[in-house]
Chains A and B, each alone.
Chain A
């Protein structure tokens, strides 16, 4: 193992970290860059709590070692307030009072924003497909569904 320096662009800002190449992007965000909005839930890509946008695609950051990030843009929950669709989704989340414990919601919102960027009129099936891997143990799914539809209406 040799420590390697990586240059990243996270939410539009340049960052440099020196870490073991096997370190997942998730832990670099959380521990090296102190951006803890991206959550650890399982480490195997089965819960979606760590979802970020990598090169514009919703990605489980727990599964991406630093050696594979390359020059792709990283966008996290901390960048959503500056993203026009991100802001609309966050507003829908407040309006529908979606959150309970809130731990999974960063990942939920990142998955929803990725969905709405490509599809302004998602059906129930589209929602279930895009959010199918985002666990919420508090069970906020009913309100998530409502909030996604409400955000989509604002985009229409």
Chain B
């Protein structure tokens, strides 16, 4: 795949340089970091850089994943080289144009802050060279900078979108207001997969502003769409609908029953993901040296602050869509399919999202399909499909519910000798028919179920991890940090328990256990030991919890200072050591680590579970499913990055798995209790 600079860089006559960002800004800072990378190699003046969100198009695909996406914390690791090359090529073309103009050799020119300087005191602004540079051929290869030559990469750069996000001018998907636009809400079946049997909409149609009410297909089941000139009219009309639902043949999931079923399955070996040494070694361990631990994790909603939404206008032979999609190609394909158009006839815009965390982009493109099904009925009019908070919370696509059982045997040296783990939870990759299936599913087991455990760098001689996919009929999907969100909790709380049994320092214990060849892991743990020295001087009502994670090749280690306040964990301070290769924007990394920890706290807050009874999701809004508030968050977080010249690795998801085990490890020291079911009980102590 070629990435022509003109698709990514627009040099304006006034000197401003627009950099096209090939993936959606969801808060992770990609619309600042990718322009930084490009501007550095281009020797552009940072104060003149603007970022623009690219629409759906092949040229904006992730160069490694070969699909346009935000996921897997791929943005920087996959596009670092790409954006460097784009910047380097653009610079070379500008230099070539200047060299031509001055009749000098390009290698005798130098560049700085959007100006080319010639050997005889000549100078020319990039803006004045742009049209000549555009006629130059794109070089196949350019020399890229040595990391020591970086001027922007590695510096703390404030976000380009900060001002607009502080004065109310930033437009998110929900803020779109096109001429003539109508707003649509959906009345969904109370149980996933239900269908409309009959609808009495007489009362609903009396609401002023209502334009139409009709049934549309969902990916599974059907719904009633209410279209009105305003949100409030649509909402009032939806509340007045009387719908008789056909729930025959629809399986009614129940999380209480599923918990028992998952636990029973965990008693049987699953499909083996990894097997080293002798898996039966555990059976030979003396009972007093065994730990058998069951862990339970609930379904979790993503709960982005901006609920799901999508706007589509259907013009008969083409369509236009405005989205906040993490997987634009899936949503565009869904729209095209519903409207009977080839995908290239759907102009697909991507705007800033008010959070996403995996939810805003699904392989089935359900959001695009739903919006298109409504737009199809009302041609020529942009229709904004809005999920209310209740729709968003109850809409499925949750982080899977998971049960882990670990049988762990301790050797005479206090180190783990045998580890046999069975993981039970559903897959969103298996059976999806997507490119990910071939990469992740082996012998029928989705690696995402066991990631973090199966590939641990802790060296345990007799080691087995297996898994079951129970097919629980609750739609599951990717949630920031995916399988690591539960696997690291299991690994890190058990390793901590072993360190406590051995009376060992929890960082020293991990250093002893981790693979000697895992250099990045060791350096992160050592940096934490150095920066977390405060943990030896805590008062007796505080305790320090340690945890470690290595999502997508970015080891992170953290120390959390925790006390108990009003029956809840109070997190005073967290120190995090990060080994992520080149830190493109250390300020963003600090932000992502701080925010990622808070996201991980979702797993331990009191209203931190989605439960289903008789097929109905029991939580509706933030009063029953509550992400962390400010009092739940750490009071302070200090982030320390290991200096490196290696290519950058993942960031956004990496901190999420750290905090729940760190807090629970601290609580074990404060209460003597090992919490293994999440979320934590409402009162601790």
A interface list, Cβ under 8 A from B: 1, 3, 19-20, 22-24, 27, 30-32, 34-44, 46-47, 49, 76-78, 80-81, 90, 93-94, 97-106, 109, 124, 127-128, 131-145
Contacts and interface: CB of A to CB of B under 8 A. Distances in A.
B621 A23 contact: no
B661 interface: no
Contacts of B231: 27, 30-31, 40
B352 A144 contact: no
A31 B230 contact: yes
Interface string B162-187: 11111111111011010000010000
A101 B630 CA distance: 17
Chain B contact patch, size range:
35 or more
A36 B630 contact: no
Nearest to A106: B168
A130 B306 CA distance: 22
Interface of B: 25-29, 158-159, 161-172, 174-175, 177, 183, 207-208, 230-233, 236, 303-307, 352-357, 388-389, 587, 591-592, 594-599, 601, 621-623, 626-631, 633-637
Given A24-B232, A100-B595, A40 B634 contact: no
Given A20-B232, A36-B177, A137-B599, A102 B388 contact: no
B627 A101 contact: no
Contacts of A97: 158-159, 162, 587, 591
A99 B388 contact: no
Contact of A94 (B162, B594, B596, B626): B162
Given A102-B170, A131-B630, A142-B634, 12 more contacts: A38-B168, A44-B623, A90-B166, A90-B167, A99-B166, A100-B29, A101-B356, A132-B631, A136-B598, A138-B595, A138-B598, A141-B634
B173 to A, nearest CB: 10
A86 B231 CA distance: 29
B627 A40 contact: no
A144 B630 contact: yes
B306 to A, nearest CB: 5
Contact of B633 (A34, A81, A139): A139
A23 B165 contact: no
Nearest to A41: B305
Given A144-B630, A145-B630, A135 B622 contact: yes
B352 A101 contact: yes
Interface centre among A20, A32, A141 (most CB of B within 10 A): A141
A93 B167 CA distance: 10
B27 A102 contact: yes
Given A46-B621, A140-B591, A81 B631 contact: no
A145 to B, nearest CB: 7
Nearest to B305: A103
B354 A142 contact: no
B585 to A, nearest CB: 10
Contacts of B27: 99-102, 138
20 contacts: A35-B168, A46-B626, A49-B305, A80-B167, A93-B162, A99-B162, A100-B27, A100-B595, A101-B353, A102-B162, A103-B354, A105-B165, A128-B631, A131-B630, A133-B629, A137-B303, A137-B599, A138-B595, A139-B633, A140-B591
A66 to B, nearest CB: 10
A39 B305 contact: yes
B575 to A, nearest CB: 13
Contacts of B208: 1, 3, 20
A139 B354 contact: no
A151 to B, nearest CB: 12
Contacts of A36: 168, 171, 174-175, 177
